[in-house]
Structure 1
Amino acid sequence: MKNMLFVQNPSEYRLLDSYIGYIPEVSNREDLYANLSASLCFPDYFGKNWDALCELYLDFYWIDTLNIVIIHENLSKLSFDDFRMYMSIVLYCIDSWKKDIGHNILFVFNQKERKQIMDIIHDCLQADDFKYNLKETAL
C-alpha cells in the first residue's frame, strides 16, 4: 500500500533527507498522542483527540523537510478500538492527500503488526460507508 511500509526493526529504519518521527511502543491513546506530539513537534494547539490528529496529519505545514517518515515501534498495546481508529485516520489521510500537501509522508510499522494492521485496513475498506463513518467518528 502506498505511503505504508512494514519493517523488522522500526527503530533502525532511516530515509536520507527526511524528517523522522519515531513513535516508541505506546500503551494507550494518551500515550500515542503524547509521543506523536513530541516526535512530530505538533503545534501547541494540538487538542489531543482524534479530530485534532486527523487535521494535523492532513497538513504538516510546520515541518519544512519534504519527506516525513513516521516510524511506529509497537501499537499492539492500544485497545482494539483505538488501534482501529488510528489506522482509520492514517488511511483517511493517505486517501485525502493531494499533490499540494507539500510533503511525501511514509508511515512505517513493525512487521510483527502487519497482519493486525492489514486486517483493520481490510475491514475499513470493506465497509460501504467507510469514509462517512470515519468522518463522523474521527472529525
Structure 2
Amino acid sequence: MFPFKFSDVAPSYDTAEVFYVRIDPEISLPEELLKALYYLLWFPGYFGFNWDALYDCLRDLEWIPCRKVVLVHKTLPNLPEEELKVYLEVLRDAIIDWAADEEHELEVFFRTADRRAVESLLTS
C-alpha cells in the first residue's frame, strides 16, 4: 500500500552500514527542506532545489557509499498541504523505484501518529 515505515521509536542502525538522516522537525518551508536534504544527503552541486531535482537525486545516490539510505522524520514537515503532498509523493515514488534495484535501498520513517495524515494526503 504505502512504502513508508511508521514507528514511535526512531530506528536504530549501524551507521557504518547505513546512511542515516534525521529531518529537522522545525522545517516549515519547502526551500528549507530542500536545502536541508541537499546538505544531509550530500547532493551534487547541480541540484536544482525543486521537487523534480529531489526526485532525480533520490533516484541516483551514486555518491553515497552505503547501500541503504534511511530518512527519519520525527514529525511531518510543517509545509503547506500541497507542498507536503508533493514531498510525500516524491519520497514514495523514489522508494518504489529503488525496490527493484540492488544498488541502493531507500527507507523513510514517520511517526505512527502521522500515518493517517500521510495516507490521507497520498490518496487525495
Name the TM-score class by shorter chain: 0.7 to 0.9
Following superposition, the deviation at residue 3 of structure 1 comes to 4.3
Following superposition, the deviation at residue 75 of structure 1 comes to 2.3
Structure that is richer in helix per residue: 1
Residue 60 of structure 2 corresponds to which residue in structure 1?
A: 59
- Matches of residues 32-43 of structure 1 in structure 2 within 5 Å? 32-43=33-44
> TM-score when scaled to structure 2?
0.86
Compute the RMSD of aligned alpha carbons: 1.8
SS in 2 for 1:41: coil
Residue 81 of structure 1 corresponds to which residue in structure 2?
A: 82
> TM-score when scaled to structure 1?
0.77
- Matches of residues 1-139 of structure 1 in structure 2 within 5 Å? 1=1, 3-10=3-10, 13-16=11-14, 17-25=17-25, 26-97=27-98, 99-100=100-101, 102-123=103-124
Count of residues paired in the alignment: 121
Q: Which runs of 5+ in 2 are unaligned?
A: none
Residue 135 of structure 1 corresponds to which residue in structure 2?
A: none
Q: Which consecutive aligned stretches of 4+ in structure 1 deviate over 3 angstroms post-superposition? A: 98-101
Following superposition, the deviation at residue 74 of structure 1 comes to 2.2
Q: Which runs of 5+ in 1 are unaligned?
A: 124-139
Contact 2:95 2:105 in 1 (8 A): no
